[in-house]
Structures are given as C-alpha cells and as structure tokens.
C-alpha cells in the first residue's frame, strides 16, 4: 500500500472519530435540554368543573381510626328502598347498569338476568339470579369503611344510610373484583381495566366532594397520578 493511500485512510478514520464525538456531544446536550424543559413543565391542571380541579378542593389529612365501625349498625342493612320507588337499591342499580335485563315473572323490581360490561375488569358477565347471583355485585365506589375513616364517623345515621344507597357511590361490578377491592382507597386499589380508571377516580372524588369526606395524602397523590392522564375528566352527576 502506498503512503498516499495510508495517509488518506488515516484522515478518514480521524474524520469519522470526530463526527462520532460531535454526535455524542449533541446527544448529551439534547438530553440535558429536554430534562431542563421537563423540570419546568407544570403538572396538568384540571379544567373548571373537572375531577382534577375538584380534587384540589378536598381536605387532605390522615385517615382516622376505624374503631367502632360496623357496616350494618352504622350504614344500615343492605339494601334499602331509600327513594321510595318500591325497589331496593341493588335492583335499582342492576336495572341501571345491566344491558338487556329481564325482571322476574310477576315482579316489577327484581332483576332476573342481564348482561354486564364490567367496568373493573373489562369482561362481559352474564348475570342470572340464583346460586351465581354474586358474580355481579354492587360496589360502593367509596367503600363505607373508607367513608368512616375519612369523616363519616361523625355523621348521623340518616346521612350514612344515604351514602350507602346513593347511586353516585354505586356501580355494578365483577364480584371477585369487588371483593378484592374491599375497603381500599385509590392508593391501594385501582381497577385492572385501565380504560376505566379515570372515570372510577372521578366518581370517588364526586362522592367525597358531595359528602364532605377528606382524602389521605397517599390517596390524593394516587388520584392525581391517574387524572394527569385525563385532566378534563368530568365529575359524574349520578
């Protein structure tokens, strides 16, 4: 190989090395700029009337002690006919949330069958009254025990019965998912169906705002994390 060829190859290598160094430097500068911009970006803010904006109005404090809590004596037996329409709350909610429901023969209230597009799991559940009635349960979106430790312990019995039967705080759901949720708040449990999480958290906030319940710091943070992905999520009305 001639000295001219060797010199040319050497220059090419040096040029390539220089290009690589410049590219690496640009990448580092770009990452720094993006990080700086990210640090300056304010968290999403909810529009007026949105769940996120309403969350910011709720009192934030630690949960109270659950001493003395008793579901039936504190919130009444399940289920009652608080709206005096002749149907208990469970059947009211089944009629609201099931598709193609049918009533038991000769009954104007009792739901015998229907189809639930379960919001918690995303599954379709065929409801049939009988041994497998528990496949579909009516969930208290803000669990009654959670309500107790975030303000309801100080209420009178009538107000507790009201929240226990308020359609705003109720949703038909997959039985096992409801049992798995138990009394957990949003920091401890969210629906597996991620497409429903914004609506789920918005409903919890609507209930807490309506009844003057507070949220814990962890609960507030978890709700914020969900709603920053949907800052315009509205509060449900019922």
Residue whose token pair is 């104007």: 108
- Judged on CB neighbours under 10 Å (0-12, 13-18, 19+), 75 is buried
Residue spans per domain, the chain: 1-41, 51-227
Can you give the pLDDT at residue 17? 54
Can you give the pLDDT at residue 4? 46
pTM for the full predicted model: 0.80
Q: What does the alpha-carbon distance between residue 5 and residue 197 come to, in Å, rounded to a whole number?
A: 66
Q: What does the alpha-carbon distance between residue 167 and residue 186 come to, in Å, rounded to a whole number?
A: 19
Indicate the length of the chain as a whole number. 238
* Local confidence band at 47 (pLDDT 50, 70, 90 cut-offs): low
Which tokens hold the place of 226?
Answer: 């969900």
Mean pLDDT of 186-215: 98
Phi, psi of 27 (to 5 degrees): -60, -45
Q: What does the radius of gyration of the chain's CA atoms come to, in whole angstroms?
A: 28
Which tokens hold the place of 156?
Answer: 């009178």
* Local confidence band at 5 (pLDDT 50, 70, 90 cut-offs): very low
Q: Check whether 196 has a pLDDT greater than 70.
A: yes
Q: Report helix angle 157-164 to 197-211, nearest 10.
A: 160
The secondary structure of 130-181 as a DSSP string is STTGGGEEEEESS-HHHHHHTTGGGS-HHHHHHHHT-GGGEEEEEHHHHHHH
* Local confidence band at 43 (pLDDT 50, 70, 90 cut-offs): very low
Residue whose token pair is 């312990």: 153
Which tokens hold the place of 48?
Answer: 């007026």
Q: Residues of the chain with pLDDT > 90: what percent?
A: 79
Q: Are 167 and 96 in contact (CB under 8 A)?
A: yes
Q: Check whether 133 has a pLDDT greater than 50.
A: yes
Q: Are 141 and 169 in contact (CB under 8 A)?
A: yes
Q: Check whether 105 has a pLDDT greater than 60.
A: yes
| Contacting residues for 143 by C-beta, under 8 A, at least 6 apart | 181, 182, 183, 184, 185
- Judged on CB neighbours under 10 Å (0-12, 13-18, 19+), 108 is exposed
H runs (alpha helix) in the chain: 3-40, 51-55, 71-75, 89-97, 144-149, 157-164, 175-181, 197-211, 217-227
Torsion of CA 44, 49, 53, 59, to 10 degrees: -170
């Amino acid at each position: 190989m001639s000295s001219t060829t060797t010199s040319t190859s050497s220059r090419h290598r040096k040029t390539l090395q220089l290009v690589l160094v410049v590219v690496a430097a640009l990448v580092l500068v770009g990452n720094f700029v993006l990080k700086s911009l990210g640090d300056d970006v304010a968290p999403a803010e909810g529009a007026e009337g949105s769940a996120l904006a309403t969350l910011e109005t709720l009192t934030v404090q630690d949960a109270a002690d659950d001493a003395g809590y008793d579901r039936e004596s504190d919130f009444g037996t399940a289920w009652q006919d608080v709206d005096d329409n002749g149907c208990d709350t469970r059947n009211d909610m089944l009629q609201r949330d099931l598709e193609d429901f049918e009533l038991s023969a000769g009954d104007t209230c009792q739901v015998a069958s229907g189809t639930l597009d379960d919001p918690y799991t995303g599954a379709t559940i065929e409801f049939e009254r009988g041994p497998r009635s528990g496949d579909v349960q009516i969930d208290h979106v803000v669990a009654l025990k959670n309500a107790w430790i975030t303000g309801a312990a100080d209420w009178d019995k009538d107000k507790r019965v009201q929240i226990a039967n308020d359609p705003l705080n109720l949703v038909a759901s997959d039985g096992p998912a409801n049992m798995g949720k138990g009394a957990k708040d949003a920091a401890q449990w969210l629906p597996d169906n991620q497409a429903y999480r914004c609506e789920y958290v918005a409903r919890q906030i609507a209930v807490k705002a309506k009844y003057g319940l507070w949220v814990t710091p962890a609960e507030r943070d978890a709700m914020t994390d969900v709603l920053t992905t949907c800052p315009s999520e509205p509060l449900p009305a019922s």
